Structure 1
């Protein structure tokens, strides 16, 4: 890791804040190009940075070697010792001017045409399939973490950072949104790559609706809102967790087109494959890319 970011990168503007700290747009003094700086404070142990942080950074750097068009590039990493107990790790990413939330907000009524939605979703799934094929979970997919360049290229950002930030998030009062979280995460069950597919399904619906599909205020409220759409899962599908199925009233699945009226028949089929309660039955990114929805004109 390089030692000091402040010498090479000059902050230009604050471009976002959240549970993970402040994000700055900065200029690389050597090349003149704009970058995004994201810093996180990491608890330092007697051997320096925790192994988990070193491992996450190594993983992010390895991803760069593949240079995937739908994954944001990590350009540099700097570590600055703040105190004996704390190190500031700054990640330097390529800078993209807008995220999917901004992009959707700017779209004129009645919203994006079907062809554009297909293109966005295909790119998102290609980025995700790449991460999953390298055993990288995103864990926090939402419109704010999906960047869209001025040419319409989609780039996944903040992948692999969730674990690194977890220790820091305990120190911040910011509430992280539950709206894109998979049921197995809400139930605190075991989880793997299907969590990202659930989030992608929520985003897929939102691209049509131009507003989120499930807006819960707590884990239980979020699950309730999910079951109002997909129905209460069968007893045999319920994982062995502390939140019991009996806490929820029986619900039958509702037609997904009641909630996403503009979606095509094949789009609705793909969306339901993504919003499948059982993670083992949920479609993979690889299979989703082969779905007839993407083969339609």
Structure 2
């Protein structure tokens, strides 16, 4: 039995964007006049048995997430298939709710006037609530960035683009490099095994950006990204540096540790303390999302 409906129920209008694993289109739902959706187009190489089990697991994961109807996770509405585009290649369409704006666009739109402390706190809390939901279900997003956080018309944050999300066991480490450069954790840049702590690092970078409306670590290459990170964390000690990589610790100038507020003066003291905990070089020392949510930054007024 085919688990997918036909894509003929949707009319593509224009391209919203392209990601690591596919293109996203704005589309019209022909069965529900006036309803606009987001179609994520993914090409899947078929195996001798048809659609690979990894793809079926990914779709099952998305449907599992959607069953909870979490307010900070974008809704999956449908899964469709298109035609075979090339030999042994199937086109799948994941149909999501459509939101007009992502956080990157929102930050550009508010511009110099910035955001109120209440909005910053609310957005940060909704980001961490979504991350906690994923981690509770043993899912690492792995590509958190402002372009993958959607802002609803009533100004709430929803996590999107789970094309890179993977379920993980507590003992498992993931090693493929996937996270967008500016939000990439140091262990990923150093090609080390990593776990859900990469989402904590990325979230901290995004929270800082809510305050300043500029990237905290806008690196131009992987090495330059590490250099920018070390201006905050300090240069790692020799016993913290992985021995099996060609990039040597001695290639980097000595840096002393600073506070996030030194790089992002717009932070308040509570935000500075929270980001100090989240932006540590050692991933084992980063607090889990639920612990972040219990920090005074989220418990103080104005929430």
TM-score, length of structure 2 as denominator length: 0.89
Deviation at 1:82?
2.6
Deviation at 1:236?
2.9
- The alignment status of 1:229 with 2:232, answered yes or no, reads yes
Pairs within 5 Å for 1:169-184: 177-184=180-187
- What is the CA deviation profile of residues 138-168 of structure 1, one whole-angstrom value per residue up to 9, with x for unaligned ones? 000000000011101110001253569xxxx
Deviation at 1:55?
0.9
Match of 2:46 among 19, 39, 44: 44
Match of 1:70 among 69, 72, 91: 72
Aligned partners of 1:189, 1:176: CA distance in 2, in Å?
Answer: 13
Pairs within 5 Å for 1:79-158: 79-80=81-82, 81-158=84-161
Aligned partners of 1:59, 1:292: CA distance in 2, in Å?
Answer: 33
Q: Which residue of 2 aligns with 1:194?
A: 197
- The alignment status of 1:270 with 2:271, answered yes or no, reads no
Q: Which residue of 1 aligns with 2:173?
A: none
Q: Which residue of 2 aligns with 1:13?
A: 14
Query: Residue 212 of structure 1 aligns to a residue in which SS?
Result: coil
Q: Which residue of 2 aligns with 1:56?
A: 58
Structure 2 unmatched ranges of 5 or more: 168-176
Give yes or no for contact 2:15–2:23 (8 Å, CA) kept in 1: yes
Give yes or no for contact 2:234–2:258 (8 Å, CA) kept in 1: yes
Give yes or no for contact 1:136–1:160 (8 Å, CA) kept in 2: no
Query: Residue 179 of structure 1 aligns to a residue in which SS?
Result: helix
- Mark the CA change 1:65 to 1:209 in structure 2 (over 3 Å): closer, same or farther: same
The total of aligned residue pairs comes to 288
Deviation at 1:214?
0.9
TM-score, length of structure 1 as denominator length: 0.91
Aligned partners of 2:196, 2:243: CA distance in 1, in Å?
Answer: 19
Q: Which residue of 2 aligns with 1:4?
A: 6
Query: Residue 181 of structure 2 aligns to a residue in which SS?
Result: coil
Aligned partners of 1:202, 1:215: CA distance in 2, in Å?
Answer: 10
Give yes or no for contact 1:232–1:251 (8 Å, CA) kept in 2: yes
Query: Residue 158 of structure 2 aligns to a residue in which SS?
Result: strand
Aligned partners of 1:25, 1:213: CA distance in 2, in Å?
Answer: 31
Pairs within 5 Å for 1:214-293: 214-242=217-245, 243-293=247-297
